[in-house]
Structure formats: C-alpha cells, structure tokens
Structure 1
Amino acid sequence: MQNRRDFLKKAGMASAAAAGTTALATPYVHAQSPIRWRLQTYAGAALAEHVVKPAIDAFNKAANGEMEIELYYADQLVPTGELFRAMQNGTIDAVQSDDDSMAAPVDVSVFGGYFPFATRYSLDVQALFYKHGLAEIWEEAYGEVEGVTWLSAGSWDPCHFNTKEPIKSLEDLKGKRVFTFPTAGKFLSRFGVVPVTLPWEDVEVAVQTGELDGIAWSGITEDYTVGWADVTPYLLTNNICGAWVGSFFANSDRWNEVPDHLKQLFRLAMDSSHYYRLHWYWAGEADLRVNGGKMELTTIPDAEWATVEAEAEKFWDEIAAEGGRKERVVQILRNYRSLMQKAGPPYRYG
C-alpha cells in the first residue's frame, strides 16, 4: 500500500509538472514575434489598391499572426530601378515588378514588362508560363543569381499610348517624349519616340508641365485609376503588346526561413492577385473605352500599323541572335503564336 501511495504521489507530481510545462509552453509559442516582410511593388498607391493590396491583405489575415507583410508602393523605400539589388542584399524582403524595370541581372529580363507583340491577350501570359515552359526558364535563370528567388508570374494590362495630342499615324509619334518601360522604349525609339524615365509618382505632373507628351505604360483602366486620363485626353487603340508580364520575387534567405504552410499560403495569395487582375483589367479595358467619357479614341490604320508589327519581327530576331535562353524564349513565343493562329477564333482573329 505504501508503494502504491508513493507511486501515485510521484505520478501526480509528474503530471502536474507536465501540465505546468504545457501551460507555460503554449503562451510562449503564441507570444513569439511573427515573421515580418517588407514588400515593395512597382505600382503607385492608387494602382496598388488593385494589383497587389487585396492579395497582401488577405494573406496577412489568413496568416493569423504567424507572418505579416508590410506593403510599400513605387519608389517608397528604394527607386524601382534598384529593387533587385535592395532585395538581394536584404534591404527589402520581396518585390512585385517586371524584370526589366528593376534591372534584374538575368538574360530573360528583356521579356519582362512589355516585349513587343509577345502577347495578344492577358491569358497568353499564364499559358506561356505554366503550359509552354517559360516558368521553368525563369526558375533556371534566377537559380543562377545569388540571393533572389523568382516565385510567380502573371499578366497585367495591354500597352497603349495615352497622349496630350491625338495619334493617328506613325508620323504623329515622332519626337514624342513618352514615359515607358526600358525594352518597350528601346523598340519604340525606332519610330521616333523619345523614351523618358521618371519616378512613377512624377509622371502626371511631368505631362502637365510639358516634360512628357504622353505615356506608353498601360491600358485605359490604369489611365482612369491613377489619374492620367485627366491629363492625357487621347488613347491610341493600337497596342504594342497585349499584356504586361510581372512577377513576385523574394530574398532567398528570407523565403527559405518561411515554414512550408506559409509558403503555400503566399503562393495562393499570388494566384489570387493574378486572378483579380485578369478580370479587373479585362472588364475595365472594354467598359472605359465605351463609358469612360474622358478620353477620345484614335487609331493608326491597319496597313500602317503592320509596319510596326514587321519591325517587331526584326526586334525578335535581334534578341534571339544573342543566343542561350533568349533564343529559347523567342522560339517559344513564335511556336505559341503559330499555335494560336492555327487555333483561330477566339484565340486569334485574322
């Protein structure tokens, strides 16, 4: 009997100690600081409200205190052209941008943003990346760069000109000072356009002061959303690309520190962001052309615009001639275009 009493006494003490340990351990786990990231987008505040903020807000809520992402807008922490280096050295943890604008030191960066006539519709981007092999090429390219992990690509809007004066012919483009993306600007300079680089937030004022004659950075949805429709009363319906290609990136060390379940949650948030933009832009591009009321639509005749498309073929050849992954990407773009043309409507018309 004495042995039983001693056993029960010791067992009770052990159970109490275990319970105490559990009681102490649980608050400790919940009290630990969440993982905190700073993510900077290429977009200004008004545009970011649509292209990234809903997804980040949803992630933060779903992460339930385990992780929190602080969102910063264009040039808020570092200039857009320095985003890659800032992420690489850990000044910021993640980025939403195109490869081209942030000067990513990879050979495929030329295809980020607006590569002339690479796409016709927004869905082309997702199809090219996740069905036709571009995602694997991007992973390969960034796998060779220390400190940065490419995570996911998606599509934005088509690239139109919005200008202070109407554009009705290629001659009207000559000498126009235009805010645009690096590769798009390089291509457009063949038609007399003068590409201008400015901080995103300065663009509207630059149009008003005469520093800029127009913008080739977006479709009509963004023109209305960010206020450019108030200072550029004309929209050229011809576009040089059907969708902007942008991606999410992260500092590799910070990404590797994230538990697998939060990585998966962030991937779902990125997919949510991609999906939101698909319907937001698609609906806006049509509705605002018809019902916007602020911008007059102009068009360069098809026969004349065909010379721009022909010049894009030469541009593709020049990029492909540099070899390596660039040649592989251009070949994928050509194969995809051929497939869409053979498929016919609604994939391609004419």
Structure 2
Amino acid sequence: MERRTLTKSLGLAGILAAGAAPAISSAQQEIRWRLASSFPKSLDTIYGAAEDFSNVVSELTGGKFKISVHAGGELMPPFSVVDGVQARTVEMAHTASYYFFGKDPTFAISGAIPFGMNARQMTAWMLEGNGLKVTREFYANFNIVNYPGGNTGAQMAGWFRREIKTVNDLKGLKFRVGGFAGRVLSRLGVVPQNIPGGEIYQALEKGTIDAAEWIGPYDDLKLGFHKVAPNYYYPGWWEGGLNCEFYINDKALAELPKEYRDVIEHASKVAHVNMQAKYDARNPVALRQLAQNGVKLHGLNTTIMEAAFKEAMDLYNELGSSNANWKKVYDDYRKFQREVNLWFRFAESGFDRFMQAQRL
C-alpha cells in the first residue's frame, strides 16, 4: 500500500505510526488472530479502539496479519477476557484492567485507581516512566503482555436517582461502579455492583441499582441513562484517566516475526491516541445535549471528596503492607505522580484555570 493512501486512512496518529513502522517483507507469513473485547459494539469510542488497532495491523502488513474483533459476550463474557488470554483461548483482548482486581488488586493500577493520574500523566508513566516495565513484570504471572489501548480522560461520577449531598447519602446506595473503585466506595457505605456496560441501563431502569457510572457524556447519552436517573455528578474521582489496555498472550506474541511485533507496538499507540481524541471531541457536544434534555448537573462537594480521599489512602497503605505485587507497582506509580504533579500544578493547571474562565 502506498504511504499516501495509508496516511489518508489513518490520520495524524497513523502518520506517526506508519512513519516509524518497519517495512514488511512480501514473503512474510499470513497470521489470523482473535481479539475479545470487554465492551459492547454500540460504543464506537471505547470498543472502536480495538477496531482501530486491528485496521492498522492489517494495513501495515499488507493484509497478511489480520485480527478479528469480537464484542463483549460474543466469544466469552466481558469480564472473562483475562482468563481467555491466559489460557490462549484467544490470542488477545481489549479491556480495562480494574475489572480484574478480584484476582489481585494490582490489576487496577494500570487502568485507573481512585485519586490517580490523569490521562496525559498515565500515558507518560506507561511510555516514558517505568509503567510498562513494572506492569509487564506483574502480568507475566498471567501469561500476558500489555500494551496501551486508549484513554477515556477524566470521567463523570455518574447518574443518581436522588441527590447526593452528604457522606451519609452514600450509605446503602447500590451503585454500579467499575472495578476497584468499589473497594473505596464500600468503605463509605456504598454497595458496589460490577456490571458490564451493555447491561447497566436495564439494571438502572428496573431499580436493581440506585446509581450508575460509565464513562462520560458521549457514551452515557448513547446508553440513555438520563432517561432513568436525572442527577448527573462530577468528577469521577476514581477515574482521573482510565487507561485501557491490549492484553496479548505471551507465547502467541513470542511466536510472531519481529516485524509483526513492531507493528503491534505501533498500532497500539495509534489506537491509544485515537480513543482520547474521540472522547475529548465528542463529550462537550453530548454534555450540551444532555443539559438540553433537562439533566441536573451537580459537583460532588468537598466533604465527600475529602472523605473518599482519606479512605483511598488508607486502603493503599493497607495493600502496601500485605501485597508485594501492589507495593512494587504502586510505589513506582505514586513516585511518578508526585513528580509530574509538580509540573501540572504550575504551567498546565495555571493555563487551564485561566482559559476555562474566559468567554471565547
């Protein structure tokens, strides 16, 4: 395929990836893989990252390496993809790591933990810090090699049937919340529910749950949560920037020619950039639409945020004392966050605060 055609089809991220990608020999072997997603096909943003990845792999190899993408529940349940990759039932998956905190809380760190890093900081830790190094050492226990698979940016705190004004309002609340965040919320009296994205609306509509969070306005509007819960809260302090990942079976990866392994690395970066761009571009438009539909937008008050922060820090200290995997990955994560926050506190945040107060 001519470089001009490839550039046109892949956009800016594709230019960056294709420009660095190796030449693929015409004699290279043909390979077919399957990718199991944890997400429903209806969400072109988060599910779409896997399709972007697959398309880039195919184009950079002249169609010789093809990866079929399967929505959550098609090949296996959305929360079983780790088992599928570990056992090599499928060669790879696209998911959010915190879904699997029950296997080991350390899974959550490479996705999102309460009061963690934002999207840009997380990408910096993964690609320029020790993030990929320390998480891959952990994932080796599960026959997995991980690659960045997109970031949602900061998320909303979700949809509630009634207003949440005090910490006491959280007690007994049946709340669909992704993965590890439930560990912190349960310490505040919440009853967390881990429900796949495609099943949330029905649970909220039937009253099986009292509240639910997913990602943000674009996806939430598509899923129709505003029709059954009028109160929309921010910020989702448990997901300052959800880093999704591609999980690949280590033996399947090792069997690939080096050129194909290089293509996977480049394709993951294209998908990573594309997902963040989609959310940043589409969330503002969707938020305006939700407001026009009568949604009540609320900010979580400082008292609730501070109570949650304290519980999160206490939990992390407890895990650090009892889980060697957690301590190793988390200590590196927090060290990086402390350093990068110093920069964001001055230039980045200072500029953002000023610009967000202006009328453009």
Deviation at 1:290, TM superposition (A): 3.8
Paired residue secondary structure (1:331): helix
Paired residue secondary structure (2:208): coil
Aligned partner letter, 1:44: P
Aligned ranges 1:110-149 → 2 under 5 Å: 110-119=108-117, 121-145=118-142, 147-149=143-145
Partner of 1:70: 68
CA distance in 2, matches of 1:303, 1:282: 29
CA distance in 1, matches of 2:308, 2:339: 22
CA offsets 1:290-320 (integer angstroms, 9 cap, x no match): 4543432112222442222222221221222
After TM superposition, the structure 1 stretch with the greater mean CA deviation from structure 2, 244-253 or 213-222, is 213-222
Partner of 1:334: 334
Paired residue secondary structure (2:159): strand
CA offsets 1:176-216 (integer angstroms, 9 cap, x no match): 21112231111111122111133432211111111122213
Partner of 2:172: 175
Q: 1:157 touches 1:243 (CA, 8 Å); kept in 2?
A: yes
Aligned ranges 1:248-259 → 2 under 5 Å: 248-259=246-257
> Is residue 223 of structure 1 aligned with residue 220 of structure 2?
yes
Q: 1:151 touches 1:248 (CA, 8 Å); kept in 2?
A: yes
Partner of 1:262: 260
1:39 to 35, 38, 50: 35
Q: 1:341 touches 1:347 (CA, 8 Å); kept in 2?
A: no
CA offsets 1:91-136 (integer angstroms, 9 cap, x no match): 11101112331468566213244311112x2112111212331211
CA distance in 1, matches of 2:342, 2:214: 30
The alignment covers a number of residue pairs equal to: 319
Partner of 1:88: 86
CA distance in 2, matches of 1:346, 1:283: 23
Q: If the length of structure 1 is used for normalisation, what is the TM-score?
A: 0.81
Q: 1:94 touches 1:250 (CA, 8 Å); kept in 2?
A: yes
Partner of 1:23: none
Deviation at 1:173, TM superposition (A): 2.4
Partner of 1:18: none
CA RMSD of aligned residues (A): 2.7
Partner of 1:307: 307
> Is residue 162 of structure 1 aligned with residue 159 of structure 2?
yes
CA distance in 2, matches of 1:102, 1:95: 13
CA distance in 2, matches of 1:72, 1:290: 32
Partner of 2:182: 185
1:205 to 202, 207, 210: 202
Aligned partner letter, 2:309: E
- CA gap 1:174/1:286 in 2 versus in 1, 3 angstroms: farther
Deviation at 1:174, TM superposition (A): 2.3
Aligned partner letter, 1:140: E
After TM superposition, the structure 1 stretch with the greater mean CA deviation from structure 2, 258-267 or 222-231, is 222-231
> Is residue 345 of structure 1 aligned with residue 346 of structure 2?
yes
Q: If the length of structure 2 is used for normalisation, what is the TM-score?
A: 0.79
After TM superposition, the structure 1 stretch with the greater mean CA deviation from structure 2, 95-104 or 78-87, is 95-104
Partner of 1:100: 98
> Is residue 237 of structure 1 aligned with residue 234 of structure 2?
yes
Deviation at 1:347, TM superposition (A): 4.0
Percent of matched pairs sharing the same residue: 19
- CA gap 1:262/1:341 in 2 versus in 1, 3 angstroms: closer
* Structure of higher CA gyration radius: 1
